[in-house]
Structure 1
Amino acid sequence: MNNIDWKKLQNGSDIRGVALEGVADEAVNLTSDVAKTLGNAFVQWLKGQANKPEEEITIAVGRDSRLSGNALSQSAIEGIALAGCKVYDFDIASTPAMFMSTVTDGFNCDGAIMLTASHLPFNRNGLKFFTPQGGLGKPDITAILAIAEAEELTIGAAKGEATKRDFMTIYAARLVETVRQGVNNLDNFEQPLTGLKIVVDAGNGAGGFYVDRVLKPLGADTTGSQFLDPDGTFPNHVPNPENKEAMEAICKAVVDHQADLGIIFDTDVDRAAAVDRQGNELNRNRMIALIAAIVLREHPGSTIVTDSITSDGLTQFIEQQLGGKHHRFRRGYKNVINESIRLDNSGEESWLAIETSGHGAMKENYFLDDGAYLATKLLVELARTKLQGKLITDLTSSLQEPAASEEFRLKIKTADFQTYGNNVIEQLKEFANTQADWETVPNNYEGVRIACKSEDEAGWFLLRLSLHDPVIPLNIESNAAQGISKIAARLLEFLQGFELLDLSALKSYL
């Protein structure tokens, strides 16, 4: 494996690579041998963290529906067992369930690995790692890759035992109990979703379990649920709540089957979005507003942490309507979660960290970004509002939504894209300060966010540097009919002075 560039497998706090041939110019770098080495390297890293000998360590391994998943998971299991550890093979599972295996009685695994690449194309795969303290961070992944790069496998005195275990049934049972206790309908405690029709779209990922193991035991009618069977070719649509075709599919299913709610998961079920009974999307700012309304009723005055591109209307809703505090932070679900934990530990009560992408983590659930748990909180509210003769969307009726919002991804045409991109941002800050009707938004943790005060713009924009790619994303939101075009035109005039920026996305819009 001397030709493997181990560092290139790191993607922030995950490992991701090309696992299958079939896409031009994408050479395979996540092979079975690599997965075996990574499984063994995780043991070596975990041994120091758990302060246990290998033979006393238990690690769970699961995967989503990707075509490469079975081979890679079996290889990771082989690498773990070689070190002498006990291994539980969960087969197809969700990413949140893998963490839960480390804190659930009867399992109490020292670590867990999930084979997934979220919503990326069929040829990709990756590994996410967990301990009872949560998902591993970027420095941890760097350390594991450094161990793997040495390619010195730890061989135990005896090979560890690998056994298949059904954990998803146990994980789902906890969600079922969460709904029963949350609704607390004494007239029908066991099946509080009776009389409700709920449609699920699993996108042929790992989320199909939610229908048979969560909704049906609760009494829900799940007629119209679709794409529940795991299929790594993803034949129907990309399993991604941010994908336009995916959202159109679940919206249509809700309308066609006259459902009370639609739920859509990404491939490994750490993200979710919903659809109301009229077929309107409940994602991005709407999803955040809905969950925030539930959380702030349970924990008045607490802080909601979101990523940087949430709307001004959401801030007004959280702070003026709900009486909470809205804290925008950097994009990246780990950034948002860690900031919520930091605030909470410092004495500023924070029970929700959530991104517009659908990653949502709650303090009551180990600050775990768990799409199924987020959906389950919605089920509780759906049943509660039905008993009151109301709709779940009544909670967010006062949310002010913008007339329009757009994201433009401006590519940077140089290898040193971070230096170039940061220079663009700094110069934009200086330029914005010279504009009478533009104002820099305070307490901004990422890029530059500018409030556009004139009546014909009436909005804001955020220019930031992508976490990993040579791209500067530009988000613009406006409450004026032609506001985005007017803001974009002024920005284009300024940005044309940067020759290494690809402005085609902006130009084509105008």
Structure 2
Amino acid sequence: MSSLKFGTSGLRGLVADLVGWPSYAYAGAFFRSVGATSCASRTAVIGRDLRDSSADIAATVATAAAAAGFAAIDCGPLPTPALALEAIRRGACAVMVTGSHIPQDRNGLKFYRPDGEITKADEAAILAALGDVSAVGTMPAPVAATPDPDVVERYRRRYSAAFAPDILAGLRVAVYQQSSVARDLLADLLAGFGAEVTPIGRSDTFVPIDTEAHRPEDVTYIAETMASGAYDALVTTDGDADRPLVADAAGGILRGDVLGLITARYLGADAVVVPVTAGSAIERAGGFAQVLRTRVGSPFVIAGMEQAQRAGAKTVAGFEANGGFLLGSDVALGGSVLPALPTRDAMLPILATLAAARDAGLPLA
């Protein structure tokens, strides 16, 4: 029996069950169902993380896109939120090849409409179009996607254009690079905002960083790194950079929902949407006109954000216990505007948490 199934964030399973025909079949079902009804541009942007299997699966997705009549754009290795932002910009569908935080022997597909993540109803439509994936068909000859090397830079500009250039001045930050697809971008972005950045722990082997259920070896590595006293904070992300991890000067890892709370306050959100697994400190902290609880999974958080907006909330944000932050509204920051990005993002909570601590003159602990 195949291990492939939709969970709280896309399709996941063993690499052995995904490569080849299954990835072609699932991608094709997406393009024929959700893509056909939501993507007038008939364009698909495709990205991937740094797992060994991701490049080949991405090439298969590009072939499936072409077979369905879509122009495939290869965005290369990049954060999932960067791909989602590009899909919004182009009015395109998107497929991200990533297993997020799970081990190297597994991988997955995340699907996006031009307006953001697919819904549970969209998942049902994909499965209806899929049919019996165990009946292996014949794939057409590979069709290469057209490269676009500028997508990551457009994602970087989302933040460099919205925040003041000195918001992190004076902070000493260790960037645990490991195999995160954002490892270079994160270091460069923080340095661009004035932080003294030290990249550490780069790995050519995939490291399954889980920002919620921390591996003992990661906890130990972070504690030993911070014991030197050389850094005010350590930051990193999971494999596809939609979940952040932030540790304080003593090596203590901040809870993901605490990062979300800090970020929502920093942005001046009046309504926040969180799953039932997020801590009760969100209500106790006060400061929000509305706190809405949902089932676990970003599709439910997004539906909750849309509900809050219909109810009249002006600035709506969502976040999960893993730290992934979803921005449902445009936010004014001084004289600039940070546009909405209703998908999990690691960069925003890292920036906002560090900036909030610096503004307050307080340590992160």
CA distance in 2, matches of 1:323, 1:144: 37
8 Å contact kept, 2:28–2:65 = yes
Cα drift, residue 367 of structure 1: 2.4
Once the two structures are superposed, residues 313-337 of structure 1 have per-residue CA deviations (whole angstroms, 9 ceiling, x without a partner) of 44222x2xx3644333322232233
- Structure 1 vs Structure 2 CA RMSD: 3.0
Change (3 A) 1:211 1:257: farther
> Percent identity between the aligned chains?
22
Aligned counterpart for 1:201 among listed residues 156, 176, 188: 176
Specify the alignment match of 1:447 in structure 2. none
Per-residue Cα deviation, 1:404-463 (whole angstroms, up to 9, x for no partner): xxxxxxxxxxxxxxxxxxxxxxxxxxxxxxxxxxxxxxxxxxxxxxxxxxxxxxxxxxxx
* Structure 2 residue 147 is the aligned partner of structure 1 residue 164: yes
Which of 43, 54, 57 is the aligned partner of 2:42?
57
Give CA-to-partner distance per residue, 1:189-241, whole Å, 9 cap, x none.
x4543432111224412120334431233332212x32345533x2xxx3111
Partner of 1:408: none
Question: 2:80 corresponds to which residue?
Answer: 95
Cα offset for 1:93?
1.2
Cα gap change, 1:304/1:63 in structure 2, threshold over 3 Å: closer, same or farther?
Answer: same
Answer yes or no: is the 8 Å Cα contact 2:323–2:349 preserved in 1: no
Residue aligned with 2:23, SS: helix
Helix, strand or coil for the counterpart of 1:367?
strand
Q: Secondary structure at the match of 2:87?
A: coil
CA distance in 1, matches of 2:187, 2:246: 18
Match of 1:331 in 2: 296
Q: Are residues 159 and 279 of structure 1, via their aligned partners in 2, closer, same or farther at CA, if it must alter by over 3 Å?
A: closer
Which of 273, 276, 285 is the aligned partner of 2:245?
Answer: 273
In structure 2, do the counterparts of structure 1 residues 313 and 212 end up closer, same or farther at CA, with 3 Å as the change threshold? closer
**Partner secondary structure for residue 120 of structure 1:** coil
By relative contact order (CA 8 Å, sep 6+), the higher-ranking structure is 2
Q: Provide the aligned length of Structure 1 versus Structure 2.
A: 350
1:378 aligns with 2:346: no
Distance 1:383 1:176, change over 3 A: farther
Displacement of 1:74 in angstroms is: 0.9
Instruction: Report the equivalent of 2:258.
Output: 286
1:227 maps to 2:201: yes
One-letter amino acid of the counterpart of residue 148, structure 2: R
The answer to whether the 8 A contact 1:118-1:267 is kept is yes
**What's the CA shift for 1:274?**
1.3
- Summarize the Cα distance change of 1:136–1:277 in structure 2 as closer, same or farther, 3 Å threshold: same
The match for 2:61 is 76
Q: Tell me, which stretches of 5 or more residues in structure 2 are unaligned?
A: 331-339
Cα distance 1:349–1:124, how it changes in 2: closer, same or farther (>3 A)?
same
Equivalent in the alignment of 1:48 = 36
2:209 is aligned, of 236, 239, 244, to: 239
1:38 correspondence with 2:26: yes
Tell me the equivalent position of 1:498: none
Match of 1:367 in 2: 342
Q: CA deviation at 1:30?
A: 1.0
How far apart, CA to CA, are the structure 2 residues paired with 1:13 and 1:69?
17
> In the alignment, what sits opposite 1:17?
13
Q: TM-score, normalised by structure 2?
A: 0.84
CA contact (8 A) 1:38 1:144 kept: yes
Per-residue CA deviation, residues 280-309 of structure 1 (Å, 9 max, x unaligned), is: 3222443243224324xx24xx23222223
- 1:153 Cα offset (Å): 8.9
> Secondary structure, in 3 states, of the residue corresponding to 2:175?
strand
How far apart in 1 are the matches of 2:37 and 2:167? Answer: 43
Deviation at 1:81, TM superposition (A): 2.1
Contact persistence 2:35–2:113 (CA under 8 A): no
Match of 1:169, SS state, is helix
